[in-house]
């Protein structure tokens, strides 16, 4: 419950009360000097797992729903609030093409796949990403780890925010990256290659379908492109 201004601004308004059950704001002490008028706003915070299509419609608030200290003459009614319908974020998944190439033994952050997510309607939160390598490079002997990097709205890879590292399997789980509606966001899967990786083995990341990416509630569509085949080559000899 926020008071005073004719235009609601959460950053500058004073919150008079918060309730997590029921529909009564009680124990208020807001003083209203003679004059006015004064304005109050009821807001709702929606959980990430809210059920889409459910609604909030605040009934007309009559004088019977308001109480004051002392003797006050009341008149009028607050209008019914317009129906607010809960919507899921819409996510369109695609990717930039990762070209085929060579990756050396004992190298890190080799980009093997990219993922882009265009978000509309509401904020989306990524929970997990599953990928598959159809090449013959394997953990331990060839690949020491895969990393998931996030570059925000930049479509250019940079070693910035690492959201996860795995040394077995092909699932990045327990992700909590929030994506605000209105932009496209970019993720990158990279591989770290062992010093003694077998020359000639390959990493080819299959196209990642939207069913392989989970969110805290979202309408998903699209798929990524398959990553170009990355072939392990011998590391350059050191010069002494």
Q: CA–CA separation, 143 vs 106, rounded Å?
A: 10
CB 103, CB 193: distance < 8 Å = yes
Q: Show the tokens assigned to 166.
A: 């795995």
Instruction: Read off the pLDDT of residues 164-200 as tens digits, 9 standing for 90 and up.
Output: 999 999 999 999 999 999 999 999 999 999 999 999 9
- Residue 166 CB partners (closer than 8 Å, separation 6+): 145, 146, 172
The whole-number pLDDT of residue 84 equals 93
Region 47-72: mean pLDDT is: 88
**Strand blocks (E) in the chain:** 2-4, 39-41, 55-56, 61-62, 77-78, 84-85, 90-94, 101-104, 110-120, 124-130, 143-150, 161-166, 171-172, 177-179, 184-193, 202-203, 213-215, 219-222, 230-233
pTM: 0.74
> Bridge-partner residues for 150, per DSSP?
161, 187
Angle at 184 between CA 100 and CA 149, to 5 degrees: 55
CB 149, CB 106: distance < 8 Å = no
The whole-number pLDDT of residue 235 equals 84
- The residue among 25, 2, 22 whose CA lies nearest residue 12 is 2
**Residues of the chain with pLDDT > 90: what percent?**
75
> In this model, does residue 4 exceed pLDDT 60?
no
Q: What is Dmax (Cα atoms) for the chain? A: 93
Instruction: Read off the pLDDT of residues 96-138 as tens digits, 9 standing for 90 and up.
Output: 889 999 999 999 999 999 999 999 999 999 999 999 999 999 9
Q: CA–CA separation, 240 vs 237, rounded Å?
A: 10
């Amino acid at each position: 419950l926020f008071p005073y201004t004719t235009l609601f601004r959460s950053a500058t308004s004073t919150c008079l009360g918060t309730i997590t059950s029921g529909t009564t704001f009680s124990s208020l002490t807001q003083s209203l000097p003679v004059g006015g008028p004064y304005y109050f706003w009821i807001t709702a915070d929606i959980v990430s797992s809210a059920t889409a299509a459910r609604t909030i419609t605040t009934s007309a608030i009559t004088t019977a729903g308001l109480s004051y200290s002392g003797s006050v003459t009341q008149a009028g009614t607050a209008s019914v609030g317009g129906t607010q319908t809960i919507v899921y974020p819409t996510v369109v998944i695609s990717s930039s093409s990762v070209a085929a190439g060579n990756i050396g033994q004992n190298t890190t952050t080799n980009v093997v796949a990219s993922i882009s997510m265009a978000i509309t309607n509401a904020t989306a939160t990524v929970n997990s990403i599953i990928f598959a390598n159809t090449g013959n490079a394997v953990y331990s002997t060839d690949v020491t780890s895969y990393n998931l990097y996030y570059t925000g709205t930049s479509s250019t890879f940079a070693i910035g925010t690492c959201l996860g590292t795995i040394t077995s399997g092909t699932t990045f789980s327990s992700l909590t990256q929030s994506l605000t509606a209105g932009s496209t966001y970019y993720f990158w899967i990279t591989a770290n290659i062992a010093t003694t990786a077998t020359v000639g083995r390959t990493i080819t990341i299959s196209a990642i379908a939207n069913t392989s990416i989970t969110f805290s509630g979202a309408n998903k569509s699209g798929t990524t492109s398959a990553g170009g085949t990355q072939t392990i080559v011998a590391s350059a000899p050191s010069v002494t």
